[in-house]
Amino acid sequence: MRVALIDYDSGNLHSAEKAFQLMGRDAGATVVVTSDPQVAAKADRIVLPGDGAFPACRAALGEVDGMADALREAVLGRSVPFMGICVGMQMLATTGHEYRETPGLGWIGGEIEAIAAPGLKVPHMGWNDLVIDRPHPVLEGIETSDHAYFVHSWQFRVADPAHRLAHVDYGGPVTAVVGRDNMVGTQFHPEKSQGIGLRLIANFLRWNP
């Protein structure tokens, strides 16, 4: 099994690569960091990280010649299991509103909106308790009250509540995990979330949607 970790100059690839390599040993997975759309198109799993502002990440992804088409063909055409992390997850949405309105990939309907948490610091940064909204194979062994590590000022408001798999309470519910079909995304950083994050990565590598 080959896992493509997409490099488009917008993600913390070193930590993510180490975490996926660690959990990939038992799954027989080879983790490849790549900006080559042909490698992405042939992968058995695809991971899209993302750090920074939504418009900058979306533009950077579009600037890798052929990558958006390769991802679309693999994920939507061949149903390759896909995981988005942080802004990589947010880009699954229909539209982002950070700085300016920016089209997302549109694979999971919803909007990226600013976190409104009166009296609380934004960005939402640090450990928070997950609340599991609905079971999913990628969340196997992860329970409500387990901790995950977040760094973000914007949140994914899904159009269909069934696509929100988990949330946290930060001045109200804030989406933590989204999913539909062969796609999942985490607002938190699994590679920085210790045992819970590694469990989620291992689940993703075993997942056969």
pLDDT digit string (tens) for 194-206? 999 999 999 999 9
Give the pLDDT of residue 11.
Answer: 73
Q: What is the total count of domains within the chain?
A: 1
Residue 101 known to be catalytic: no
Residue 189 known to be catalytic: yes
136, 163, 167, 189: the catalytic one is: 189
CA distance 200 to 92: 19
The CATH number linked to 128 is: 3.40.50.880
Are 153 and 114 a contacting pair, CB within 8 Å? yes
Residue 153: domain span: 2-206
Position 12 pLDDT exceeds 90: no
* Element (DSSP H or E) covering residue 95: strand 95-96
pLDDT band at 114 (very low <50, low <70, confident <90, very high): very high
Partners of 21 in the β-ladder: none
* Element (DSSP H or E) covering residue 205: helix 194-206
17, 98, 111, 191: the catalytic one is: 191
Amino acid at 104: G
* SS3 per-residue string spanning 29-92: CEEEEECCHHHHHCCCEEEECCCCCHHHHHHHHHHCCCHHHHHHHHHHHCCCCEEEECHHHHCC
Neighbours of 6 (CB within 10 A): 29
* Element (DSSP H or E) covering residue 23: helix 13-27
Name the DSSP class of 21. H
Question: Mean pLDDT over residues 128-150, rounded?
Answer: 98
17, 86, 111, 167: the catalytic one is: 86
Q: What is the pTM assigned to this prediction? A: 0.96
Cα 101 to Cα 50, 53, 111, distances in angstroms: 18, 12, 10
Residues in the chain: 209
- Residue 91: half-sphere exposure toward Cβ, Cα within 13 Å: 29
Position 24 pLDDT exceeds 90: yes
Residue 124 known to be catalytic: no
Give the pLDDT of residue 26.
Answer: 85
